Structure 1
Amino acid sequence: MNNHGYLKFILTVLVLVIAFFGYMLVTAVDRVRESNLRILEKLEALPGRIQFPAVVPAGGFPGGVAVSPAEQGSPVANAVFFDPQAETGGRLILATAADTANMNYLINNDAAAAEFSALCNSSLAERNYEKPEEFQPLMAESWSVSEDHLVYRIKLRKGIYWHDFTDPVTGKKHTDVEVTAADFKFYVDVVKNPDVNCEPMRGYLQDLKEVKIINDYEFEVHWSRPYYGSLMVTLGLSPMPRHLYHAYDGPFDGRRFNDDHVRNRMIVGCGPYMFVRWDKDRRVIFRRNPRYFGIRYGAAPALEYIVYEIIKHPNTRFQALLSGDLDRLDLTPEQWVQRTDEKPFRDGTLKRYKYLAFSYTYIGWNLRNPLFADAKVRRALTMLIDREKIRKDVYFDLVETATGPFSPTSSYTDPEIKPWPYDPSAAKKLLAEAGWRDEDGDGILEKDGRKFSFTMLQAATSPTQQRMMPMIKETLAAAGIDMKIQNVEWSVYVQRLEEQTFEACCLGWTSPIDPDPYQVWHSSQAGIRGSSNHIGFRNAEADAIIEELRRTFDMEKRIELARRFCRILHEEQPYTFLFVPYSLVAQSGRYRNVRVFPTGMPESLFWVPRNEQRPVPGL
């Protein structure tokens, strides 16, 4: 997770989670860092008012405050957690359940593309693994913040270089190209360009007014209005290689950027790993960057290769783990309970790690469909789903029942809200109040001549969905509701969501404790193709709360607003909130310096003794 840049801060965007955590209901990518939203802000709730890092007077910046590396406790973020005795070399082979469309994370709402790019890029700062309320310098040497939180002045480290590459179109070689302030401005300009297909990401920068370049190593980020997340977004900015994406004369062309299929098959970054190659439908390979700037600060990964094998079937992935062809896998609850008594787990060849994930799963009802327009109907649907039975029979009690979009450990979650119970009698009464009755005696409810019949999308690669959906179908049928199940490949699933041509879906989101619900829940996002608000939720009161939450810095007020928002979602039930899963990780015992932090297990800290290192097959 080290140096994963803006992608790791706001990997919320959206991206429709390719079924994260291996057992999340859309398990299309068997990796812990999935995120529809591209928000991976896994923070502890902060008491009182927002706390900025230790500050000193900002010379030449009237009314501002500055942060220096010394006050942050480390010259580079999280350097103290890297093992100075680590031996370089070795590999980490992971698995994903589906290939990605391209490697350009801005235009590809796929969690895999975001994760691949995160390996290759860095950001201005990064949260401390152990104390995630603290930001520490990464690409930034220091920064200053105006008292009104509208202007951030950034000073870059010198000697940070882009990965060398040969342009696949022009054949021009690019070597020794230093990262400058212009590369950060280029990133912001690309995201804010209306012709670029990155609507989810653009929502987080909507109040970012401009980037002003002072010189090659200094720039200012100006915000048009106070925004609570401006610190996170600013310090999470990553540069973008202009020499790759604007390798032509004239102004930047957003449509050309979208359609640059050849360049969008590669990644050029400045981070700890370099993109080696992408074997379509087989594997993606990354190699350690020998010129990564973190090396000189003792904050660089030791593993030489990170490889993602594309293995569609969950049993095949598990067998690959047992045989040593995979080094790490996020297990399903069924695998965790029933398969980890095998020899590699007993003799220590494989080790298990379990911790509560910052995510939740849900069923989303497309509110554009008249079937789901009435909140009474949506509450009835929730009360017809026996989540306790699913929790026990499908998830083996390795999940917690969700009540809303925030982590159950977060102060933003309203403890007074309890999950709607499984109560078929009360649900039938709500349906009758909404006008749904079985007029012709065929066992299916109807209203105004329309049968209560709809289709639920099911991810073809998700064993949990395949077990759960028939259970839901059965309990709905007992109440007179006909739910059809459509099993689709992940690429089709994503397309249906982006085009909003679905009736009901089952997905998961990351769940930041310090939230900005704008992208998923604000009405302005409901009509946008590819939006995270794919269900089309619109609520004026919720909009007002979201907007106030974005400009409120007082923590007590933020908690009050967030709980009001949770109560609206609880009553409206645009989602049936399902479960908060546990991350269930199986990993080779070869790895040293394996640690679990509030934000997860940073793979960048892992290392393997030289006599236990293994090569990458085929290299």
Structure 2
Amino acid sequence: MFVRRITRAAAPVLGLAAVLVLGACGSDGGTEDTGSSGDSGSSGAATAETLRIGIMSEEGNLTPHTYATGFPGLNLTMLSYDSLMQIDENGEPQPWLAETVEGSADGLTYTLGLADGVTWHDGEPLTAEDVTFSVDYYKAGPPGRFATAMGNVSQAVAQDESTVVLTLATPDPSFQIRVLADVPILPQHIWSGIADPDLAPFDETTNVGSGPYRLVESDPGVSYSFEAYPEYFRGEPKVDELVVVQFADEAGATAALRSGEIDTMMRSISPEQIDVLRGTGTLDVIEAPEYTTTLLVFNTAVPPFDQAEFRQAVALAVDRQRLVDDVFLGAAVVGNAGWVHPDSPWYVDSVETVYDPEAAAELLDEIGLTDSDSDGVRELGGAPLSFELLVASNNALRMRLAELIGEQLAEVGIDVEVSSVEMQTLDDAVWPGYDVNLGRNYDMAMWGWSAPSQADIGQMASLVASDPAIGNLNVTGYSDPETDALAVQLDTELDPAARQQVANQLQQRIAEEVPFVSLLHPNGAYGYNPDVFGDWVSITGTGPMTKLSFIPDDGQP
């Protein structure tokens, strides 16, 4: 059954930048302990007839135009579709549909040689015309993640059936990771007949990709079923059928895992469940640090969040280590004031992350936010300094974080009312329509970006630039000329050493200006039944829930 649902593609899932990849290259296919990916410890059956997977959110109809969220929606969609490059285990983009990728010295031209023998699920060959069609179709289509990604491609030309030349309007040092390794290629013979992708009929005739799996049943809000595509150009998938079942929350999904109703979950389990699941004797857990970020975001367009000193005071009052210890039981990395994950090659250790509630109180005094009536709450314009903190009701860990942050801010005289809301309500307040041009309607919120957003350093610019063309993830509305100048440099600098210097400066600026507070990075922990399937491939900073886990070893990038 195919159920049509109109849902725009949303949240970002991007990867780790490499400035140029010339020619075909790859890894040895083994899982590497790099220090940031950790030892996944996965083991168990290498193949399976059916793998049942639990999710906790509705993901719409899984096409590149209608999946609902970056994770797991895009990950599920990319089981059926492929991009020109693919992120490998180490988080680096490697040739995929494009067997060779050659970039010009000025960063404005990419010549792509497509792999031989790639076919769509209906048996039609994938050609250069499909690639050029995809570029033009996304550019002409409704606003969304892939339309934005393709916005810098000024021309796409098929030189022959297997060669494509892409011309960029401006140099983009993140082009390989942000576009080539992210944007799914569409079959021209299917989508050329669909004028409005948001109104496309979702059935067996239109649901055609080139990926290792074809979506054969779709009932958004209930379940999805995928069948392996045996002619996949990277080899026949290791699992014949994937059945994805939606649960209301983690508790329901975890109970289903323990009872054997499902075999794994796409979302990381709560820290307290790790030993519980391992103690069953039948289940195991893949553990690896991830780049997922948990943030406290502000609406910087409204007082007093429009003052850097106030935002600094909030950051000083939040004990990140306590959040990690009390809520995540140590299974997380303390957030860096400069945004970048401490395990990232872009991290600069000169940026300090400080907890000092006394200094926070002094800052609040200095900017005139005092407690004149000694009731424990400071005043702003004669009214109590009180704010609403929005948090998604389906995320128990973030609920606990919000409550603890409220307690910590109360200690310095800031009153916080934690409001538990539906995820869509939170999205509508913080990122309406997934478009920063539409503004925002909140004081503070618990927010986060999916794991791979950390891996592309260019995404740091998108978080803080006031120009929506660059700052398409600037949900705080933050605006600062010095930050904007650094964001533009980070977005365009091709020289790796020079780009590192700009990244260092921008991290320092974020730490000083505090457009948001980076709270922590939860470690990934995925429960699974090794007797059903356990041959997981974990990507550095991202985890194991991608197509790489289902592709044969000799087909890995």
Cα separation, partners in 2 of 1:523 and 1:15, compared to 1, 3 Å:
farther
Give the aligned partner of residue 506 of structure 2: 565
The 10-residue stretch of structure 1 (106-115 or 572-581) with the greater mean CA deviation from structure 2: 106-115
Give the direction of change, closer, same or farther, for the CA distance of 1:512–1:425 in structure 2 (3 Å limit): closer
| 1:94–1:326 Cα contact (<8 Å) kept | yes
Q: Using the alignment, how far apart are the partners of 1:332 and 1:157 within structure 2? A: 41
Number of aligned residue pairs: give it: 514
CA distance in 2, matches of 1:284, 1:325: 15
Deviations 1:34-76 (A, max 9, x none): xx321133x7xx8xxx5x44x5xxxxxxxxxxx2x4xx36xxx
Aligned twin of 2:135: 188
- TM-score for both structures, normalised by structure 2: 0.84
Aligned pairs for 1:372-383 (under 5 A) are 372-383=305-316
SS of residue matched to 2:216: strand
2:402 equivalent in structure 1: 469
Q: Does 1:241 align with 2:177?
A: no
Pair 1:412-2:332 in alignment: no
Tell me how far 1:605 sits from its aligned partner: 5.8
Give yes or no for contact 1:15–1:37 (8 Å, CA) kept in 2.
no
With over 3 angstroms needed to count, the CA separation of the structure-2 counterparts of 1:186 and 1:453, relative to structure 1, is: farther
Cα 1:391–1:526, aligned 2, differ >3 Å: closer, same or farther? farther
1:317 maps onto 2:253 in alignment: yes
**Partners of 1:15 and 1:532 within 8 A in 2:** no
Distance of 1:541 and 1:303 partners within structure 2: 51
SS of 1:321's equivalent in the other structure is: helix
Aligned to 2:327: 394
Q: After the TM superposition, which residues 218-229 of structure 1 pair with which residues of structure 2 at under 5 Å, given as runs?
A: 218-229=163-174
Query: Do 1:456 and 1:483's aligned partners in 2 also have CA atoms closer than 8 Å?
Result: yes
SS of 1:525's partner is: coil
Match of 1:336 among 253, 274, 285: 274
C-alpha distance in structure 2 between counterparts of 1:265 and 1:283, whole Å: 20
Q: Shift of residue 607 of structure 1? A: 7.4
Structure 1's 475 and 406: CA in aligned 2 closer, same or farther, altered over 3 A? Answer: closer
Q: 2:462 aligns with which of 501, 516, 519?
A: 519
| Amino acid in structure 1 at the alignment position of 2:540 | P
2:85 pairs with one of 115, 119, 125: 125
Contact 1:592 1:607 in 2 (8 A): no
Q: Report how far residue 265 of structure 1 moved.
A: 12
C-alpha displacement of 1:334: 2.0
Pair 267,522 (structure 1): closer, same or farther in 2 beyond 3 Å: farther
SS where residue 274 of structure 2 aligns?
Answer: helix
Amino acid at match of 2:231: R
Question: Cα–Cα, structure 1 residues 466 and 225, in superposed 2: closer, same or farther, change >3 Å?
Answer: closer
Is the 8 Å Cα contact of residues 86 and 96 (structure 2) preserved in structure 1?
Answer: yes
Match of 1:488 among 421, 424, 429: 421
Shift in alpha-carbon separation, 1:107–1:371, aligned structure 2, 3 A: farther
| One-letter amino acid matched to 2:421 | V
Letter of the 1:123 counterpart: S
Q: What is the match of residue 362 of structure 1?
A: 295
Describe the superposition over 1:175-227 as per-residue Cα deviations: whole angstroms up to 9, x where unpaired.
Answer: x332222222222223323x6121x4444333321111223322210012222
Segments of 5+ residues of structure 2 without an aligned counterpart are: 1-7, 32-44, 433-439, 552-557
Correspondence for 1:327 among 259, 263, 266: 263
**Residues in 2 aligned to 1:515 and 1:129: alpha-carbon distance in whole angstroms:** 18
Deviation at 1:367?
Answer: 0.9
Distance 1:259 1:441, change over 3 A: farther
Q: Do residues 584 (structure 1) and 529 (structure 2) align?
A: no
Which residue pairs with 1:40 in the alignment?
15
* Residues 1:153 and 2:111 are matched in the alignment: yes
Give the aligned partner of residue 371 of structure 2. 438
Q: Distance in 2 between matches of 1:449 and 1:233?
A: 47
Contact 2:117 2:233 in 1 (8 A): yes
Aligned equivalent of 2:241 = 305
Please state how far the C-alpha of 1:473 moved relative to its aligned partner: 1.8
Residue aligned with 2:412, SS: coil
8 Å contact from structure 1 (residues 105, 117) kept in 2: yes
Structure 2 residue identity aligned to 1:512: Q
Counterparts of 2:364 and 2:206, CA distance in 1:
52
Provide the C-alpha distance between the structure 1 equivalents of 2:170 and 2:50, rounded to a whole number of angstroms.
46
> Do structure 1's residue 179 and structure 2's residue 126 form an aligned pair?
yes
Any idea what SS the aligned residue of 2:391 has? Answer: strand
In 2, Cα distance between equivalents of 1:144 and 1:486 = 50
Structure 2 CA distance for aligned equivalents of residues 180 and 505 of structure 1: 45
Aligned to 1:58: none
1 CA distance for matches of 2:113 and 2:50? Answer: 34
Q: Cα deviations across residues 244-283 of structure 1 (Å, max 9, x unaligned)?
A: 33316xxxx5xx3334475799743111000111223221
Is the alpha carbon distance of 1:288 and 1:341 closer, same or farther for their aligned partners in structure 2, counting shifts above 3 Å? closer
Aligned equivalent of 1:207, options 146, 152, 156: 152
Closer, same or farther in 2 for the Cα pair 1:544/1:201, shift >3 Å? farther
8 A Cα contact 2:277 2:283, kept in partner: no
After superposition, what is the alpha-carbon deviation per residue over 1:410-436, rounded to whole angstroms, capped at 9, x for unaligned?
A: 232120222121x32221211122221
Select which of 126, 143, 157 maps to 1:197: 143
Q: Is the 8 A contact 2:50 2:239 kept in 1?
A: yes
Whole-angstrom distance in 2 between the partners of 1:367 and 1:475: 21
- State whether residues 301 and 604 of structure 1, in contact with CA within 8 Å, keep that contact through their aligned partners in structure 2: no
Partner of 1:26: none
Aligned to 1:170: none
Give the Cα separation in 1 of the matches to 2:385 and 2:9: 31
Pair 554,480 (structure 1): closer, same or farther in 2 beyond 3 Å = same
The answer to whether the 8 Å contact 1:191/1:201 transfers is yes
* Counterpart Cα distance in 1 of 2:109 and 2:345: 29
The whole-number CA distance in structure 2 between the counterparts of 1:341 and 1:518 is: 41
TM-aligned CA distance change 1:445 to 1:526, over 3 Å: farther
Q: State the one-letter code of the partner of 2:14.
A: I
Contact 2:99 2:113 (C-alpha < 8 Å) held by counterparts? yes
Tell me which of 96, 113, 116 is aligned to 2:55. 96
Q: Which amino acid aligns with 1:352?
A: V
What residue is the counterpart of 1:24 in the other structure?
none
AA partner of residue 464 (structure 2) = W
| Distance (whole Å) between structure 2 residues aligned to residue 372 and residue 473 of structure 1 | 16
Residue 512 of structure 1 and its aligned partner are, at CA, apart by 3.2
Cα distance in 2 between the residues matched to 1:374 and 1:107: 38
Question: Are 1:115 and 2:75 counterparts?
Answer: yes
The Cα of 1:118 is off from its aligned counterpart by 0.8
Alignment of 1:422-437 (within 5 A): 423-437=356-370
Which deviates further from its counterpart, 356-365 or 257-266? Answer: 257-266
The code of the aligned residue for 1:401 comes to: V
Q: Which moved more, 1:502-511 or 1:115-124?
A: 502-511
Give the aligned CA root-mean-square deviation in angstroms: 3.0
Deviations 1:379-402 (A, max 9, x none): 111222232222211111111211
Pair 460,576 (structure 1): closer, same or farther in 2 beyond 3 Å = same
Distance 2:205 2:391 in 1: 29
Q: Distance in 2 between matches of 1:245 and 1:408?
A: 42
Give the conservation status (yes or no) of the 8 Å contact 2:75–2:546.
no
Determine if contact 2:294/2:448 at 8 Å carries over to the other structure: yes
Matched to 1:414, the amino acid is V
1: CA distance between counterparts of 2:364 and 2:377? 12
Q: 1:276 aligns with which of 197, 200, 216?
A: 216
Verify the 8 A CA contact 1:245 1:263 in the aligned structure 2: no
Q: Which residue of 2 aligns with 1:352?
A: 285
Helix, strand or coil at the partner of 1:544: helix
Contact 1:276 1:286 in 2 (8 A): yes
